[in-house]
Amino acid sequence: MPVQVRFKAAKAACLLVLAAPWASAGTYYPKPGLFDTSTGYLETELPDGWFRGSAVVARDPKLIYSAGHMLYDNGMWATDYLFYRAYNGRYSPDPANAAAPRGYRYFTSYTNNVDIYGQDSGRAFAYDFTVFYGTSSFGPAAGWWPDGGAVMRSDKQKLIVGYPSRLDYNNARAYYYQYGTGWFANRALQTRGAYHYFKNVTTGGGNSGGPVFAKETNGKYFLGGILVSGSYSTAGIYALNSSSNSMASAALATKSVRADAGNTDSVDLPDASSTYLVRTTTTSGFSENITGLEFSASVSTPRRGDLDVYLQSPSGRIRWVHKQSKEPAADLRIDKADYTAKFRGQAANGVWQLKMRDAVSGNRATFNSFSVSVSASGE
């Protein structure tokens, strides 16, 4: 079934100026078409649900660039994300065709400035950049300008590509087609650090994270920045610089580490209990958050329908293992179940808790063991 998503609107770079018509000469507005095969449709899961945006395979086939605000909201970073390279269609893409990056990197200055000054501030936009990384290719990568700011401020031809949900200039629905502004020669104005903006350029909510290309005289074009904000008459970008280039290099060097931990301290569960018995195990040695998790457990019982069991991560996220039911089968045995989707992006270091109760009288249950196998980046 198609994934139902909401769009995370591009943030306003300045007050909206309600002048018209938007399609007049000198205003660069989005047009549909497959403009660039390295650009893709991005979905991320944030506290309020799934959001849509844009991203681009850049510099290396194992890297994807996007905006930081596509993954951060209400003090939390996204735990699930899907990328559809070069998608172009009326209906939402099939998740079976998505690429799932292993993890991502971001600037701590971004979260600090968002928390202090707000997500719509120039201080936040100046660090509004994220790099996803993977173990295999996401597809052909766009070339890049090491000093994107200088190129954005030049008179080179530029192009913004992405997936607006609605078009800023007329509010028409854009579905899931790829859009581009068409080439324009406007010079970007530098506001703060890496944050620049173009006048008389408009895209639409959902375009956040889309690439801003600049063309060489020989016709080849390269990535100069990432779209991070916008209004009906402006487009704000994070321009590539030494900091974002260093982040990408670090992401390429990221190596996955796997740690197994468990508890085999067998114990009988109290019969017909309203409280949970807890068994714990600890994982350590990681420098980044979870990119993969497998779970195993064994509880002996004549009737597993009597059991309530859930796993709690070091950061407090819960994944139900079994809920009380009328199921008559015996024993609860789970072998290497993939719980990555629930815990991806959560803290990898710390105490894991398996909480269990036998909620119905008459059948005694015995905890035998549980284990977690955590993958992330090591120290």
- Indicate whether 7 pLDDT > 50: no
What is the average pLDDT score of the chain?
A: 90
What pLDDT, on a 0 to 100 scale, did the predictor assign at position 135?
82
Share of the chain above pLDDT 70, in %: 93
- Ordered domains of the chain (ranges, CATH): 6-252 (2.40.10.10), 256-377 (2.60.120.260)
Model pLDDT for residues 154-211, shown as the tens digit of each residue: 999 999 999 999 998 889 999 999 999 999 999 999 999 999 999 999 999 889 999 9
Model pLDDT for residues 40-93, shown as the tens digit of each residue: 999 998 877 888 999 999 999 999 999 999 999 888 888 889 999 999 999 999
Quick one: which of 34, 44, 17 has its CA closest to 199? 17
CB contact at 8 A, 30 and 180? yes
Model pLDDT for residues 94-106, shown as the tens digit of each residue: 999 999 898 899 9
What pLDDT, on a 0 to 100 scale, did the predictor assign at position 102?
85
Model pLDDT for residues 296-329, shown as the tens digit of each residue: 999 999 999 999 999 999 999 999 999 999 989 9
What pLDDT, on a 0 to 100 scale, did the predictor assign at position 25?
55
Lookup: tokens for 52: 């849509």
Q: How confident is the model at residue 340 (pLDDT cuts 50, 70, 90)?
A: confident
Quick one: which of 41, 336, 93 has its CA closest to 207? 41
- Indicate whether 3 pLDDT > 80: no
- Indicate whether 12 pLDDT > 60: no
Give dist(CA 41, CA 88) in Å, integer.
9
- Indicate whether 110 pLDDT > 50: yes
What pLDDT, on a 0 to 100 scale, did the predictor assign at position 378?
63
What pLDDT, on a 0 to 100 scale, did the predictor assign at position 379?
54
- The pTM (predicted TM-score) of the whole model is 0.74
Model pLDDT for residues 242-252, shown as the tens digit of each residue: 999 999 998 88
- Indicate whether 23 pLDDT > 50: no
Quick one: which of 338, 355, 254, 332 has its CA closest to 292? 338
What pLDDT, on a 0 to 100 scale, did the predictor assign at position 288?
80
Lookup: tokens for 53: 């945006």
- Indicate whether 22 pLDDT > 70: no
Give dist(CA 63, CA 57) in Å, integer.
6
Model pLDDT for residues 251-301, shown as the tens digit of each residue: 888 777 889 999 999 999 999 999 999 999 999 988 788 888 999 999 999
What pLDDT, on a 0 to 100 scale, did the predictor assign at position 26?
74
Instruction: Count CB atoms within 10 A of the CB of residue 86.
Output: 16
Cα–Cα distances in Å, from 157 out to 31, 74, 186, 187, 188?
17, 37, 8, 9, 11
- Indicate whether 349 pLDDT > 70: yes
Model pLDDT for residues 201-230, shown as the tens digit of each residue: 999 988 999 999 999 989 999 999 999 999
- Indicate whether 17 pLDDT > 60: no
CB contact at 8 A, 53 and 8? yes
Q: Region 344-355: what's the mean pLDDT?
A: 92
